[in-house]
Amino acid sequence: MTDNKNYDQLLYKRKNAWSEIGEKETEETSSFCRDYAKFLDASKTEREFAQNTVTLLEEEGYISLKSAFGANQKLHQGDKVYYSAGGKSVIMAVIGKESLGKGINMLGSHIDSPRLDLKQVPVFEDTDLAYLKTHYYGGVRKYQWLSIPLSLHGTIIRGDGEKIDVNIGEDDGDPVFVITDLLPHLAKDQNEKKLGEAFPAESLNILAGSVPMDAGDAKHTVKLRVLNLLNKKYGIVEKDLVNAELEVVPAFKSRDIGLDRGLMGAYGHDDRVCSYAGLRAILAAGITKKTSLCYLSDKEEIGSVGTTGAQSDILEYFIGMLLKLTEGKSGDLDVKHVLYNSVMLSGDVNAAVDPAFKSVHEKNNAMYLGKGVGISKYTGSRGKAGASDASAELMYMITKMLDDNQIIWQVGELGKTDEGGGGTIAKFAAKLGIEVLDVGVPLLGMHSPFEVASKVDIYMCYKAFKTFLENA
């Protein structure tokens, strides 16, 4: 089969995608990432990402599936629909040429990211300073959140039932927040502690004020001034914060990294990078042979739980409504037929080899920045525990499709077998009978406030998703 003199053909080699693409694709890569940066900077929470997604979808002619269902409006080839669960998760689809029973080509990812949530009674005063107490969300290395500018995003339901959207710290004129760190001069004892123990969660308090209010004999007048300012701005009182979801995230915007601008640093690449790639892919793919679907889920970072997470029934609910409006049926078995014939690319980020921390990877089976979109046959930890292990058949189908369409890809695991591990929404899709494979963007500094991705990997991820929707 192989020409014996061409030994290169015997080997699997990862290619640096920058060296493989021409001028045109290099320009498309920067242009795609400029759009991504804009969208990401305006979407620092799952609610903001979902809202911006719905706005974009409506501009593109997508209609609410729930409204269509309520009106018993029949759907046909080429119709575009979406459903948003709780404003934190969005599923969108374009009805294809074949019947739904032949299966749907799906993209799945998540739009929540690690962060610090405010507790329900967050405001306190100590040493004439006002603070907000946090409860961290997802896997954070706590020390990374100290000494960086932070912004506050979220939603408060005021006493009168009015829903208030909060966004403080993103505009240039806004104040920001910070968690202060200990000075090195006095850190002797702290330096002796283990990294995992040196920064207790209850010390992650957000500095929020310092000027006392003239309030007669009242105590805690710095806290009072903070509450007074919130009252003036939003009309809320302290009790209203009980009915709120407020998230503390980095206040900085995404930036190009390096003199050659090949990398992009940002908060929330995990997993808004695959979510944005999926969103753009379904918008670009048009009417495809099979129905195309893109599922942007919530709560992945805490186990895909709750009514907006991928362990919920949202996908079945969506497909049930879709079936009813296209083919007039929606029984359990009808929905199962669709699911069992469907294929999903589960888009999530993976760890790229960091030259500073090489020892956690096994170099033959690791991912590298700039070597294309990353494919993981399985995730999980220590002996594939908790993994959805994709079949060799599905691996072949996807890698062949990528090769046929000149999309640069690489395979890799998260790290060394016994080093640790992680998961994605793939196993929850697999439980529904969907054939699923993890495909996404490798990162440096995953889960840090400033994660690093290669622009060419981001673009290859988008191309892989689009090609999948068009050809699978």
Query: Which residues have C-beta within 8 Å of that of residue 216, sequence separation ≥ 6?
Result: none
Q: Toward Mn ion, which CB reaches closer, 298 or 348? A: 348
Cβ nearer to Mn ion, comparing 223 with 299: 299
**Would you state the structure tokens that stand for residue 104, as one six-digit string?**
């749907």
Nearer to Mn ion, 270 or 298 (CB): 270
Q: Does 46 bind Mn ion (CB under 5 A)?
A: no
Q: How far is the CB of 446 from Mn ion (least distance, A)?
A: 7
Give the one residue of 25, 348, 435, 457 binding Mn ion; rule: CB under 5 A.
348
Residue nearest to Mn ion (CB): 271
Residues 426-445 that bind Mn ion (CB under 5 A): none
Q: Which residues neighbour 418 within 8 Å (Cβ) at sequence distance 6 or greater?
A: 382
Please say which residue, 69 or 295, places its beta carbon nearer to Mn ion.
295
Contact 291, 319 (CB under 8 A): no
Which of these segments, 75-83, 85-93, 198-206, 265-273, binds Mn ion (CB under 5 A)?
265-273
Q: How many residues does the chain have?
A: 472
**Closest approach of Mn ion to the CB of residue 300, in Å:** 6
Q: State the helix-helix crossing angle for 332-340 and 314-327, rounded to 10 degrees.
A: 100
Tell whether residue 270 is a contact of Mn ion (CB under 5 A): yes
* Rounded CA separation 288/364 (Å): 36
Cα(240)–Cα(123) distance, integer angstroms: 12
How far is residue 198 CA from its own chain's centroid?
A: 28
Please give the residues from 328 up to 347 whose contact with Mn ion meets the rule CB under 5 A. none
State the DSSP H helix or E strand holding residue 52, giving kind and residue range, or none if neither.
helix 46-59
Residue 381 beta carbon to Mn ion: minimum distance, rounded to whole angstroms: 14
Least Å from the CB of residue 48 to Mn ion: 17
Q: Does 451 bind Mn ion (CB under 5 A)?
A: no
Shortest approach of Mn ion to residue 110 CB, angstroms?
Answer: 6
Q: Which residue of 247, 271, 438, 470 would you call a contact of Mn ion, by CB under 5 A?
A: 271
User: How many residues lie near Mn ion (CB under 5 A)?
Assistant: 3
Shortest distance in whole angstroms from residue 288 CB to Mn ion? 26
Q: Concatenate the DSSP letters of all residues of 193-209 into one string.
A: S-HHHHS-GGG-EEEEE
Would you list the DSSP string of 246-267?
EEEEE-SPPEEESTT--EEEES
**Shortest CB 218 distance to Mn ion, Å:** 44
Residues forming contacts to Mn ion in the complex (CB under 5 A) are 270-271, 348
